Amino acid sequence: MQTIISFYKLLSMAEYDFEKCPKSKAYVMCLFFLFSPAVWALEELGEIAPLAPMDGPGIRNIGWQWHYVDAKGEPGYMEKVSGDAFIASYERTDGCHWTRPVKGFAPATEWSDCPSTGKANVSFTTGNIWPLTVGAKFTWRIQGKSNLIGRVWKSGRSCTVLPSIRIKTVLGENDVHKLHCKERWGTRTWWLSPKVGTAIAYRQTSRRGVVLQEMTHIQE
């Protein structure tokens, strides 16, 4: 990975927002990603031997942040802003706010500016989430209503832990669990690193397009 910022990029510093980078020990790393927009391209390098089952992350502290870059090289983060032993609320740098069960990979029960706003009843129906194990499956049932769909709608989230793989992201190469979930209007995929203890990449597909986020660092 390139470690020296080119002179051309230095001349273009005015195009970037330094305030997006945290004033912490991760500041230098964030600046590196900020000035290297060509490095964001998640690549699956191939299947590996099944990884050991991965335990859940537990209940995260208020203020926990997951920093990422998107497919365009734009930095952002999501932050846990409230919660208890059963639910957690998060905010993202684009203004999206949502609340979901802490059980794991749960659909949101309430959301605003994501870009829609709405509420849903969410229930866990089958399977076991933790520890993540190759071949494991679980499902969620969803019934909700949003400002984009005036009527009540029904959906679900069916998830499968696919074969373990090695991927390359902005963090380098990592061996990960790949969790793939199908929904009524698209799919969601998480690549979870046992070494890091959380997802290091996320992709969502829907009728609005594709969202890709690669983790750069975590702030506790």
For the stretch 104-138, pLDDT in tens is: 899 999 999 998 999 999 999 999 999 999 999 99
DSSP letter assigned to residue 129: -
Q: Is residue 18 part of a domain?
A: yes
β pairing state of 118-127 and 110-112:
antiparallel
Spatial CB neighbours of 208, under 8 Å, sequence gap ≥ 6: none
212 with 203: CB under 8 angstroms? yes
Q: How many domains, the chain?
A: 1
**Beta bridge partner(s), residue 137:** 160
CATH number of 121's domain? 2.40.360
State the average pLDDT over residues 24-32: 45
Distance between CA atoms of 109 and 88, rounded to whole angstroms? Answer: 10
Tell me whether residue 203 is in a domain: yes
Residue 204 lies in a domain: yes
Tell me, what's the pLDDT at 150? Answer: 78
Whether 59 maps to a domain, the answer reads: yes
The reply to whether 201 falls in a domain is yes
pLDDT for res 117: 95
Quote the strand ranges of 84-171, DSSP E. Answer: 87-92, 97-101, 110-112, 118-127, 137-146, 153-169
pLDDT at 45: 97
Amino acid at 205: T
- In-domain check, residue 205: yes
- Residue 129: count other Cβ atoms within 10 Å of its Cβ: 18
Per-residue pLDDT tens for 53-87? 999 988 999 999 999 999 989 999 999 999 999 99
Q: Which of 51, 59, 9, 56 is nearest to 166 (CA)?
A: 51
- The reply to whether 1 falls in a domain is no
Average pLDDT (142-158) is: 90
Distance CA 206, CA 56 (A): 27
pLDDT > 70: what percent of the chain? 82
Q: Give residues with Cβ within 8 angstroms of 44, minimum separation 6.
A: 165, 166, 167
For the chain, give percent helix, strand, coil, nearest 5.
Answer: 10, 50, 40
Structural domain that includes position 73:
7-219
* DSSP H or E stretch at residue 56: none
Q: How far apart are the first and last CA of the chain?
A: 26
**36, pLDDT greater than 80:** no
The Cα 218–Cα 209 span in angstroms is 26
Q: How confident is the model at residue 29 (pLDDT cuts 50, 70, 90)?
A: very low
Residue 195 lies in a domain: yes
How sure is the predictor about 40, in pLDDT bands with cuts at 50, 70 and 90? low
Higher per-residue pLDDT: 39 or 53: 53
